[in-house]
Structure 1
Amino acid sequence: MTVESLISTVTPPLKDTDSVEFALGLLMEFRVRHLPVIDSDRKVVGIVSENQLLDSDGPEVVISALLNADPVTIRPTEHIFEATGLMIEHDLTVVPVINELQDYLGLIQRQDLFEWYARTLGTQRPGAIISLDIEERDYSLSRLIHAIEQTGTRVHSVGTEEAEHDKNVVKVTIKMDTLDVARVRLILEHNGYHVSGSYGTPEEDLTERIQEFMRYLEV
C-alpha cells in the first residue's frame, strides 16, 4: 500500500506569504495541528505547527519567517509505513507529498493513516483478540499461526512490538475470526506459549473451559 492511495487535497497548504492569523484560521477549519507551506512555484518550503503560530510575534507575521530548513516530505510511491515513521519521528499530524520534481501534490494525514490501520488490522470485524509474550529467539509466526489454525480459527491480523520490560521479548497481538477465544488460548498455552491477555470471552466461561481442558489432559 503506497502513500499515493491516501493523498488528500481537501486540506489546502499555506503559502509562504500568508499571515499567522490566516494560518491559524486554516488549522481550526480543518482540525489539524500542522500544515505544509509552499512557495509560488508550489515547492514545499516548510511545515508550520500550531505551537509555532501561537508563539509567533503577532497575527500579521508572515509564515516564511517561521520556517525551518529541510522540511519533511514523502513521495507517493513510498509505503504507508514510511509515512507513519515520519509522523512519529517528527511528531507531525500531516506529511506533504511531493513528486520527483519536488512539486507539491497533497498531503497525508494522521487520521487517514489511523483509519487505514484500523481497516488493515481488522478492528471492525467481529472476533476475539489474544496477546502473547514470546522470547525473540523462540518467535516463529508460521508456527504460531499453525497452532491457532488447529482450532479451526482464522487469523485476521497480527501485530508485533518490542516488550517494554524486556527487549528480548516480542509482544504479539492477534485478531481472530472467532468470538470464543477460550479454545485458542488453551491450545496456545498447551503448546508452551505465554498468553498475557485475551479479549472476547467472559472470564467465567474461560475459567470453566480451562478446567475442562485440564481434566481432558489428565485422562
Structure 2
Amino acid sequence: MLASSIAISNFPLLHFEDKVSFALQCMEDYDIQHLPLVKEEYFVGLVNKEDILNLDTDQTLIHLADQLTRVGILGSMHFTAALNLFSKNELSLLPVLNEQQECTGVILQKNLNDLLAKFLGVDNPGAIIVVSVSPYQYSLAELSRLVETNNAQISQLNTNFDEATGALIITIKLNKEEADVIIATLQRYNYQILHYFGNTIMHNDIEDHYHHLMNYLDV
C-alpha cells in the first residue's frame, strides 16, 4: 500500500503570507501540532505549533523561513516508511509529496495507527507464537510447511533482531486459536518458544479433567 493511497487531499496548507492566527486556528480545528507550508504548491517545510504559540498573531509566516522542519514522504513509498518518520521526528502529520516536491496530501498519525492495526490484522482471531532462532536457520518456507502440516496457516509474520543475542525473533500469527501441536512441532525443529498467546488444547483438557473430578466427588 503506497503512501499516496492513504493520503488525505484537500487538507489545509499554509503559505508565507498567512498569519500566525490562521495557522493556530487550523491546528486547533484539526487537533494537530504541525501543518505543511508551501510556496506555489511546492513543499517548503512543516510549521510546528510550539514555534508560533508565542508570536504576534498578526505576524505572517514569512518570518519562520529558517525554522521549518523539512520532513515529508514520497507518495510512491510504502506506507510503513511513514512510521519511521513519525517516530524519529515526533510528528502529528506527515506531508505526502510527488516527484516534483509538490504537497499532494497529508498522513495523520492517528489515521496511520488505525491503518497499521488493520495491516497487522490485530482484530482477526488467531493464536500468536513468538519464537527465537539463529538468523542462519530462518526459512519462511520451512515455517510455513511446519504450520501447514498441522492444519493451520500463517496469517501474519514479522521479524526483528535481538541486539543482545543476535537471535532472530519471529512473531507468527495463525488462522486458528489452538496451537499446542504447532508449538510442539516448532520445538522439535529447534525453534525456541518465547511467548504464546491463544487457547491451548492442554488447558482445555485440564479444565475437562477438573470438571470430571468435581462431578465424581459430588457423587
Under a length normalisation based on structure 2, what TM-score does the superposition of the two structures give? 0.81
User: Is this contact kept in 2: 1:155–1:174, CA < 8 A?
Assistant: yes
Q: CA deviation at 1:73?
A: 2.3
SS at match of 2:171: strand
| Residue 169 in structure 1 maps to residue 167 in structure 2 | yes
The equivalent of 1:9 in structure 2 is: 9
Q: CA deviation at 1:58?
A: 4.2
SS at match of 1:124: coil
- The amino acid of 1:111's aligned partner reads K
User: Is this contact kept in 2: 1:132–1:194, CA < 8 A?
Assistant: yes
Distance 2:48 2:68 in 1: 14
Distance 1:173 1:61 in 2: 52
Under a length normalisation based on structure 1, what TM-score does the superposition of the two structures give? 0.81
Identity %: 25
The equivalent of 1:216 in structure 2 is: none
The equivalent of 1:196 in structure 2 is: 194
The equivalent of 1:72 in structure 2 is: 71
> Within 5 A, what are the aligned runs for 1:1-219?
1-9=1-9, 11-39=11-39, 41-54=40-53, 56-67=54-65, 68=67, 71-166=70-165, 168-201=166-199, 205=203
- The amino acid of 1:162's aligned partner reads F
- The 4+ residue runs of structure 1 with deviation greater than 6 A are none
Deviates more, 1:62-71 or 1:80-89: 62-71
**RMSD between aligned residues:** 2.6
Distance 1:127 1:16 in 2: 51
User: Is this contact kept in 2: 1:182–1:206, CA < 8 A?
Assistant: no
| Structure of greater Rg | 2
Q: How many residues align?
A: 206
- Structure 1: state its 5+ residue gaps: 209-219
SS at match of 2:122: coil
CA spacing shift, 1:53–1:143, aligned 2, 3 Å: farther
User: Is this contact kept in 2: 1:75–1:98, CA < 8 A?
Assistant: yes
- The amino acid of 1:3's aligned partner reads A
Q: CA deviation at 1:24?
A: 2.7
- The amino acid of 2:32's aligned partner reads V
User: Is this contact kept in 1: 2:47–2:68, CA < 8 A?
Assistant: no
The equivalent of 1:214 in structure 2 is: none
Distance 1:14 1:155 in 2: 46
